[in-house]
Amino acid sequence: MTAAVTRKLMLSFPQCECEKPIVYHLVKDYDLVVNIFRAKVTPEESGYLVLDVTGTEENIAGALEYIATFDVTINQTSRGLAWDEQRCTGCGNCLTHCPTDALHVSDRATMGIAFDEAKCIECLACIRVCPYGACSSAF
Amino acid sequence: MKTYADINARIESGKAVVLTAEEIIDYVDAKGLDAAAEEVDVVTTATFGPMCSSACVLNFGHASPKIRFSEAWIEDVKVHTGLGAVDVFLGATELRDKDPANLYYPGEFRYGGGHVIEQIVAGQELQLFALSYGTDEYPRREIRTYFTLDDLNQAIMVNPRNCYQNYNVAVNDSNRTIHTYLGCLEPRRKNATYCSAGQLSPLLNDPLYETIGVGTRVWLAGAHGHVYAEGTQHAGACERNDLDVPTEGAGTLALTGDMKSMLPEFVRGVSLIGYGVSLAVGVGIPIPILNAGILKRTCIRDRDIQAPVIDYSHEYPQNTGRVITHVNYEELKSGRITIDGQVIEVGSMSSYSKARKIAALLRDEIARGDFSLAEPMSPLPRDGAMKRLGIREKSS
């Protein structure tokens, strides 16, 4: 059995493909564990789906091919939540509001703040509480 | 024993020994207090955080024909015009016109006075709109134009209260989330917020105001400014610990500096959900090591500085003065404090990393001979407590 890996996917729906149960097929046909962070799929509007998929490399590759058969843009690089290091002053007001410690103190001696993208679940709490607008959402 | 003149001569010759308030701790541990006091000339302190009583005075120069502003706005933020013809005053917490504030609670407060000040310092082009009733010598009744920092005759930051010596740690003892200038506080003490640079903070390194006084030259966001008065709400008569360090707010400084010499990184507009807008300012203050006692007090450590923990859902707004307990900055900076057996997650509103950066910038500037010290004209008062505002009938 090959090792399971986790990939973060950002799917954009230019026009609605919402009548297709895409996520169902990811689970059923490709044996993927799916963790949806954010989704907006509304008829007649462009939408998005941000999720983690966990499974074998082979199954993930197959699933990406399947998704590509729809009018869907797959983005595996850009993030739904961006942290602007230049705007961040390192105050630390976000720390107690970030549920996964994606935003964290990198070194207690200097109290510098760092952002671990892999841990971010896009709850958007940081966007509300950041006094300097350092965090922003792609949608 | 050294004098200001001795130290300035050493700075001018490029031979001054300058350390930050963080570096001095281990330095004195290694060298011993008396030897270090002979050797070290200056210790640099710093802080960076929202300071609501920050403001600026701007002079726009005259258009043809001339106008005497009776009302004016910069980017729709109202500025005070009750001054000379084209002088305006803008405070950090001024909201933008038609900001719904907390009408749809909690408000977002995305833009206001602090953001205008940030953009002016950053050299951005902003809109000025002003009205006038018109006079014989100032006939223009209305003006709409655009300007940058370079177009202004003067842009002087005038901050009536900066650098609070110490500050509250806020918690929320109620059953609902509250939104304060110390951030969003979750119910039942789920989180706490502090706001001080602790062992780097200027007045915590000079707790008895031996060197920082009216006239002291300061690094105000990169500009060479000075202390122009005691800060508003300065209360030198406060509770102090065994090391003379206040365990409550205590001292404050009124600072001024030329915005044309400021670094945008250290002048930042602040949006606080449910509270309003403000301005975060970076300040560095040099402490001349005139004697061993002054040096000893700059060696203060986070663990020796206590801050009062206060409930911001009831005790603070009702002005009861009740303090839950005191915690020290070493505990706060660990990210967790424990009160009555409950572990509370800690966040901060003050940036220690920026304060470190400022202390190092000022250290290097002094070591290069580019920043000399100014002896205070008068000390900050050690007496005087903060008065409360009474609500009373008119005296007959």
Q: What is the ipTM of this complex?
A: 0.94
Mean pLDDT of A33-44: 86
Q: In the beta sheet, which residues pair with residue B232?
A: none
> Is the distance from CB of B212 to CB of B373 less than 8 angstroms?
no
A73's tokens = 């843009």
What's the pLDDT score for residue A76? Answer: 81
Question: Which of chain B's residues have a Cβ under 8 Å away from the Cβ of A132?
Answer: 268-271, 280
Among the residues of chain B, which ranges form H helices? 4-12, 23-31, 33-39, 113-121, 202-205, 292-298, 329-333, 352-367
- pLDDT-based confidence at residue B269 (cuts at 50, 70, 90): very high
Report the 10 Å Cβ neighbour count for B134: 14
What's the pLDDT score for residue A1? Answer: 56
What's the pLDDT score for residue A20? Answer: 77
What's the pLDDT score for residue A16? Answer: 62
- Asked if the model's pLDDT at residue A15 lies above 90, the reply is no
Q: What is the pTM of this model?
A: 0.95
Could you read off the pLDDT of B194-223 as tens digits, one per residue? 999 999 999 999 999 999 999 999 999 999
Contact (CB<8Å) B352/A90? yes
At what angle are helices A22-30 and A57-68 packed, to 10 degrees? 150
The nearest CA of chain A is from the CA of B348 a distance in Å of 5
- Cβ neighbors of B53 (< 8 A, separation 6 or more) are B91, B92, B159, B160, B161, B162, B231, B232
- Asked if the model's pLDDT at residue B43 lies above 70, the reply is yes
- pLDDT-based confidence at residue A8 (cuts at 50, 70, 90): confident
Could you read off the pLDDT of B280-290 as tens digits, one per residue? 999 999 999 99
> Is the distance from CB of B189 to CB of B172 less than 8 angstroms?
yes
Could you read off the pLDDT of B275-316 as tens digits, one per residue? 999 999 999 999 999 999 999 999 999 999 999 999 999 999
Contact (CB<8Å) A108/B348? no
Q: Is B351 on the interface with A (CB under 8 A)?
A: yes
Compute, in degrees rounded to 10, the torsion defined by CA atoms B255, B260, B261, B264: 90
- Cβ neighbors of B8 (< 8 A, separation 6 or more) are B372, B373
- Asked if the model's pLDDT at residue B172 lies above 80, the reply is yes
A112's tokens = 């510098």
Could you give the C-alpha distances from B198 to A96, B27, B299, B356, in angstroms and in order? 20, 18, 12, 11
Contact (CB<8Å) B351/A92? yes
Could you read off the pLDDT of B213-249 as tens digits, one per residue? 999 999 999 999 999 999 999 999 999 999 999 999 9
Domains in chain A with CATH codes: 5-75 (3.30.70.260), 81-137 (3.30.70.20)
